Amino acid sequence: MDAFYVSVELRRRPELRGLPVIVAGSGPRAVVTTASYEARRFGVGSAMPAARARRLCPSGVFLAPDFTCYREASREVMAILRAHVQTVEVVGLDEAYLELTGLPAPHATMRLLTREIEQATGLGCSVGIGPSRLVAKVASDAEKPRGFVVLSRGQACERFAPAGCGLVPGIGPRTAERLRAIGIHTLGALAAAPATGLAAHFGVRMAAELQRRARFEDAVAVSEQRKVISESREVTFDRDISDPVKLEQILEGLVRRLCVALVQQQRRGRTIGIKIRLDDFSTHTRARTLAQAVSSADRVGAVALELLHRFSPPRPVRLLGVRVAGLRAGDGGAQGQLTLLP
DNA sequence: TCTGGGGTCCTCTGTCGA
DNA sequence: TCTGTCGACAGAGGACCC
């Protein structure tokens, strides 16, 4: 979907169409979730601190995120996809891979789908069609908004050879920087680099994976259902917190929120973890695996608090989180009962 | 002036039992 | 009985994605 959250907001606030609209949190440490294409012309982009976005685009209309509304819009769109295509792999609220193999007229089907989505929901999207998820993904991003790009693997290699390595999913800012440091600036250069030299810097496995991506080689099938293996709740404070009692109270609140969700879904997990980001932005995790899967707030909370005590933050804390991993469906029995901390 | 929330996956390291 | 090897698993950190 093109600028999805902003587009959903514009459905109910059409008077904002054509303006630089930015969906972002309101706190001092909020970041931009989505920016309209008008706002992007000011240099505003996703994950940018909202304060910086305000400086770059003082005339921008800032809206608070409404995820309940975005989830509903996402459901509408995904339902349309499923009505036309059997295998749909949903990735987040605004993206999906469709398996088109076997369809008599895949291009026409996708043209029809985009029209139907637009007519039914008022939301625009971009389509990339290719022999793999990797080609399709990069193709769909290539001509946003309202793009429709069809590429073979060879065409993708040729078209994106001059592009930076970070264009391809799986090569993020860190890896792109490391590549630049050894003189590899483009996907073409990465694809053509000697494997041994690359392996010396990245290890054999990672080097091979980087080159596979640069050559747009991808054999991963479109899968209908992604299995959730962990669930977490975390919060960044407006101001760093040093008071251990205050941190405990916040952790208990996070545990309650997480466990309410787990119990509702009748899921339990064996591994309980906490996440702490200190004022120097260093991030630390501590985890413990139990003999039995749990979901109740008293069991999860006891472990989480113990982990927090043991870590004993040496500096002020800016983020605190709790996570339950190794999830599996529960039986809704005694452990599934909701128990709240006092 | 800094840098969200909720996830997945990979690598490295240490431990433990076969 | 001792030693070395290997795989499984856990824990920690980090990169990446939407």
What CATH code is carried by the domain that includes residue A277?
3.30.1490.100
- Tell me what pLDDT residue A225 has: 72
Global confidence as pTM: 0.91
Residue A62 φ then ψ, to 5°: -95, 125
Which residues 255 to 284 of A reach strand B, CB within 7 A?
281
Number of domains in chain A: 4
Q: Is the CB of A293 under 7 A from strand C?
A: no
> How long is the CA A171 to C1' C16 vector, in angstroms?
8
The count of C-alpha atoms lying within 13 angstroms of the C-alpha of A234, restricted to the half-sphere facing its C-beta, is 18
Instruction: Give dist(CA A50, CA A319) in Å, integer.
Output: 18
Tokens of A75: 């459901």
Distance (Å, whole) CA A149 – CA A144: 10
Residues A121 and A199 in one domain: no
Q: Are residues A321 and A259 both part of a single domain?
A: yes
* Pair (A167, A189) in one structural domain: yes
Active site (catalytic) residues of A: 95
Does some domain include residue A221?
Answer: no
- Please tell me whether residues A49 and A143 are part of one structural domain: no
**Domain contains A19:** yes
Q: Can you give the distance from the CA of residue A274 to the C1' of nucleotide C3 in angstroms?
A: 39
Residue A225 lies in a domain: no
> Domain check: are A25 and A53 in the same one?
yes
Q: Compute the distance between CA of residue A80 and CA of residue A285 in angstroms, rounded to an integer.
A: 40
Are A234 and A301 within one domain? yes
Examine residue A162 and say whether the peptide bond preceding it is cis (omega within 30 degrees of 0).
Answer: no
Q: Is A146 a domain residue?
A: yes
Give the CATH number of the domain where residue A176 resides.
1.10.150.20
Does the residue A244 lie in any domain?
yes
In the structure, how far is the CA atom of residue A206 from the C1' atom of nucleotide B12, in angstroms? 14
What residue numbers bound the domain in which A42 lies? Answer: 4-65
Scanning every strand, the nucleotide with its C1' closest to A307's CA turns out to be: C11
Contact in structure between A253 and A305 (CB atoms under 8 Å): no
Q: Based on the domain organization, do A248 and A194 belong to the same domain? A: no
Q: Which residues of chain A have pLDDT under 50?
A: 331-342
Q: Are A291 and A272 contacting, i.e. CB atoms less than 8 angstroms apart? A: no
Q: Check residue A330 and give its pLDDT.
A: 62
Claim to verify: residue A38 and residue A84 sit in the same structural domain:
no
Provide the positions of strand C that have an atom within 7 A of a protein CB.
9-18
Is A334 part of any domain?
Answer: yes
Position A340 scores a pLDDT of 39
* A3 three-state secondary structure: coil
Are residues A142 and A180 located together in one domain of the fold? no
Tell me the pairing of strands A317-325 and A230-241.
antiparallel
| A25 CB-to-strand B distance under 7 Å | yes
In a domain, A234, yes or no: yes
Whole-number Å distance between alpha carbons of A247 and A124: 43
DSSP H or E segment with residue A160: helix A153-160
